Amino acid sequence: MRWLSFFTAMLASLAPITTAAPRPAAASHNLAPALLPPDQSEIPRLVLYFQTTHDSLGRPISMLPLVTVKHIALTHLIICSIHMHQNGHLHLNDHLPSHPRYKTLWTEASIMRSSGVKVMGMIGGAAPGSFSRSTLDSPSDLTFDHYYRQLASFIRRYSLQGLDIDVEQPMSQGGIARLILRLRWDFGPDFIITLAPVASGLTNEWGGLSGFDYRVLERDYGSLIDFYNAQFYNGFGSVHSTSHFERTVDEGWDPEKIVIGQLTDRGVHQHVSLNRTVVQLRGKLGVIGGIMGWEYFNALPGGADAPWEWAQVMTQILRPGLVPEMKIAKDDAIMLMETWVESAWPGAAVICASVGGAGSEACAAEAGRPNVDYMAMVNA
């Protein structure tokens, strides 16, 4: 792969930086420091958001290359975005989560879980409504409970292992605390609770988008929060140097809880800069929380044709060798083909069943052929 050769060559200029690291365990001339002990294998984390579920032709986008392609060590996949509106029902993007278009999404998510990747949901984001005073930030506990029960039901139905709370509209300090407390109470200590502040919101240097103080939240409820997917991009933070991350740590934040969020469509030169910063940070601090990417479908260097290549690069930087193992049987592959057809064209499964099944040539002629080779993934 030409991008990988170019990336490796670019890293040669970084060698002098790594030799100055004061901690031998983190000082390395390789792409990343030595592997962590098995009991800490989740840290540093490699987190990826999965929002765009279909390509421009309406075909489902498969997440399975993230566990079938070699040299990827993803720890968390976050399915998004969950939205709530006053007097409405919970939606995943523009549809109900049960819509047939999401059959491939939920089927593949189950396989990701069985491969050791933590599959979470994300609520909020840029679209307003989920955290308004008419929904989850309502001063009325009855109103809050009405919308919270929809969220809890969604988490249970799709066996999500955690929830990322991305508050990008004003929300009260009490409101975010109530939501976190309720999630922890209902789903227990193993359920993953994360937040996704803009990086500046952690220190309030340039102001955040959430309305509440993350420092107060961490002080009072930090034991209930697993980590923060901090957005170090779009003017709210930068990792062109170590200064912003170090400043955050200097204000009292645990570096293990801060995951460096990056846009995935910025290319190889950003990867080189990120690698340099990560090597320096791990040399100074010993460990960081990891790297997060927004989002999967068009991540570079592979773009829409091979978005998983971003995760390969990040694995080299952060988690070499810590790769989950996935097993897919022939029956699983057939099921995946069937759900792909239904997700691409709701109602097509009925037609395919009448002409020989999802894997038949007649079905492909009628409804189209999956743009991912599920049969090639069979290894069990």
How many angstroms separate the Cα of 281 from the Cα of each of 157, 199, 364?
40, 16, 51
Beta bridge partners of 281: none
Identify the pLDDT of residue 356: 60
Residue 214 in contact with residue 195, Cβ under 8 Å? yes
Radius of gyration of the chain (CA): 21
pLDDT in tens, 190-244: 999 999 999 999 998 666 899 999 999 999 999 999 999 999 999 999 999 999 9
pLDDT in tens, 74-132: 999 999 999 998 888 999 999 999 999 999 999 999 999 999 999 999 999 999 899 99
Identify the pLDDT of residue 363: 63
What phi and psi, each to the nearest 5 degrees, are found at residue 49?
Answer: -90, 145
Task: Give me the chain's average pLDDT, please.
Answer: 85
Question: Is the model's pLDDT at 38 over the cut of 70?
Answer: no
Residue 186 in contact with residue 149, Cβ under 8 Å? no
**What's the mean pLDDT in 341-353?**
67
Structure tokens at 18: 């790594």
Question: Is the model's pLDDT at 373 over the cut of 70?
Answer: yes
Identify the pLDDT of residue 27: 29
**For residue 33, what are the contacts with CB-CB under 8 A and spacing of at least 6?**
25, 26, 27, 279, 282
- The SS3 of residue 3 is helix
What span, in angstroms and rounded, lies between the C-alpha atoms of 187 and 161?
9
Structure tokens at 215: 């420092």
What span, in angstroms and rounded, lies between the C-alpha atoms of 222 and 187?
17
Residue 175 in contact with residue 205, Cβ under 8 Å? no
- Looking at the chain, the whole-number percentage of residues with pLDDT higher than 90 is 66
Beta bridge partners of 290: 45, 259
Identify the pLDDT of residue 250: 95
Nearest to 217, CA basis, from 256, 173, 186: 173
Identify the pLDDT of residue 285: 95
Identify the pLDDT of residue 26: 30
Residue 359 banded pLDDT, cuts 50, 70, 90: low
What span, in angstroms and rounded, lies between the C-alpha atoms of 226 and 164?
10
Structure tokens at 35: 């592997």
Residue 281 in contact with residue 22, Cβ under 8 Å? no
What span, in angstroms and rounded, lies between the C-alpha atoms of 164 and 122?
4
Identify the pLDDT of residue 358: 55
**What's the mean pLDDT in 24-33?**
30
Is residue 6 within a helix (H) or strand (E), and if so which, with residue range? helix 2-11
DSSP one-letter string for 181-208: HHHHHHH-TTSEEEE--BGGGGTTSS--
Residue 309 banded pLDDT, cuts 50, 70, 90: very high
Residue 344 in contact with residue 102, Cβ under 8 Å? no
Question: Is the model's pLDDT at 12 over the cut of 60?
Answer: no
Structure tokens at 229: 């997917």
The region of weakest confidence among 47-56, 164-173, 278-287, 368-377 is: 368-377
**What's the mean pLDDT in 269-293?**
94
Structure tokens at 379: 């290894």
- The SS3 of residue 230 is strand
What span, in angstroms and rounded, lies between the C-alpha atoms of 231 and 68?
28
DSSP one-letter string for 323-348: -------HHHHHHHHHHHHHHHSTTH
Q: What is the DSSP letter of 76?
A: E
Is residue 45 within a helix (H) or strand (E), and if so which, with residue range? strand 45-50
Beta bridge partners of 263: 294
Residue 324 banded pLDDT, cuts 50, 70, 90: low
* Angle between helical axes of 173-187 and 214-221 (0-180°, round to 10): 40
What span, in angstroms and rounded, lies between the C-alpha atoms of 252 and 184?
24
The region of weakest confidence among 107-116, 132-141, 333-342, 357-366 is: 357-366
